[in-house]
Amino acid sequence: MRPTYEHIPASPHQSWHLGLRAEPRFGFDWHYHPEYELTLIVAGSGRRYVGDRVADYGPGDLVLLGAETPHTWESEAAGWHEAVTVQFLYDAFGAGFFDRPEFHGVRRLLARSDCGLRFDGADGVPEAMVALSNTTDAARRTLAVLEILVSLARQPAETIATRSLVSDVDAAARDRIDRVIGLVRRDYAERLAIGAAAALVSMSPDAFSRFFRRHTGRTFTDYVNDVRLAEASRRLIESDTPISTIATGCGYPNLSHFNRRFRAQNAMSPRDFRNHFSSAAVRRG
């Protein structure tokens, strides 16, 4: 199965991406991206797919993946699943940043991560990753990420895959995908017609539909809904904004339609999702 390309949205506040996942299940989504990725499983269990290897995972599973390395986590059906991810480009902290002599260990760590690295008992790193979400200070977060990488460079690690399976997508196709994904990420709250997306990359709607599905593994409409629901989930977790306001702000002016879409993807209503996450946060605290 060919992995699909995932676009990691740029943040206006920091040069890398922090992802917080809290869901009833992690679906199989075989993909890759140009960013390095450090993933910590906070809760839940299932199967981890990296390159040519499949293994079980559970709470505390900590993995560093190299750029373009195909991967996915697929959870068991029952239970609640949480993960923290840090994603960054090699030059995210400045051109040649990791080429400086003081970061020799981190540079070697990143070079070894093409096949994926699993860390067992990395002192203090899981706690540091969870703590990233406890501050909104981007500078402190960034310093914490660098400290995490320096710490991991000194820890023993198990190589996951037997060989690198770095993906190779045509540069022109990737540019088109990036432009369309940028449009969706920017205007997800608006009415997004497939014709506008097709025109953006100089294609007919039919040709664009085939192109987008071939390279992302989903239809354009499904992708737009995924982006909207992901943003809605984030707002439900991070704010007390009324659900109807969140729905409208994420491109669903009809609350009933939003509730149906959300329930179909998450197997629970937006209200139950918010309450479930709040209860989990209280238990962890």
Three-point CA angle 30, 33, 39, nearest 5°: 75
In this prediction, residue 1 has a pLDDT band, given cuts at 50, 70 and 90, of: low
> Which is more confidently placed, 219 or 148?
148
Domain region containing 150: 4-159
Q: What is the pLDDT of residue 246?
A: 96
> Which is more confidently placed, 33 or 134?
33
Q: Do 117 and 233 share a domain, yes or no? A: no
Is residue 113 included in any domain, yes or no? yes
Is residue 164 included in any domain, yes or no? no
In this prediction, residue 284 has a pLDDT band, given cuts at 50, 70 and 90, of: very low
Q: Do 104 and 227 share a domain, yes or no? A: no
CATH number for the domain spanning 199: value is 1.10.10.60
Q: Where is the domain boundary, 132, 159, 186?
A: 159
Residue 120 has pLDDT above 60, yes or no: yes
Residue 279 has pLDDT above 60, yes or no: no
Q: Where is the domain boundary, 159, 194, 225?
A: 159
In whole angstroms, give the CA distance from residue 62 to residue 26.
16
Residue 217 has pLDDT above 90, yes or no: no
Which tens digits make up the pLDDT trace of 49-64?
888 687 889 999 999 9
Looking at the structure of the chain, the number of domains it has is 2
Tokens of 3: 């992995």
Q: Where is the domain boundary, 159, 189, 209?
A: 159
> Which is more confidently placed, 117 or 284?
117
Is residue 126 included in any domain, yes or no? yes
Q: What is the pLDDT of residue 162?
A: 60
Model confidence, pTM: 0.64
Q: Do 43 and 180 share a domain, yes or no? A: no
Is residue 165 included in any domain, yes or no? no
In this prediction, residue 73 has a pLDDT band, given cuts at 50, 70 and 90, of: very high
Give how far the C-alpha of residue 99 lies from the chain's centroid of Cα atoms, to the nearest Å: 26
Q: What is the pLDDT of residue 282?
A: 42
Q: Do 43 and 181 share a domain, yes or no? A: no
Q: Do 25 and 130 share a domain, yes or no? A: yes
Q: What is the pLDDT of residue 164?
A: 54
Q: Do 205 and 243 share a domain, yes or no? A: yes
CATH number for the domain spanning 91: value is 2.60.120.280
Q: Do 218 and 129 share a domain, yes or no? A: no
Residue 159 has pLDDT above 60, yes or no: yes
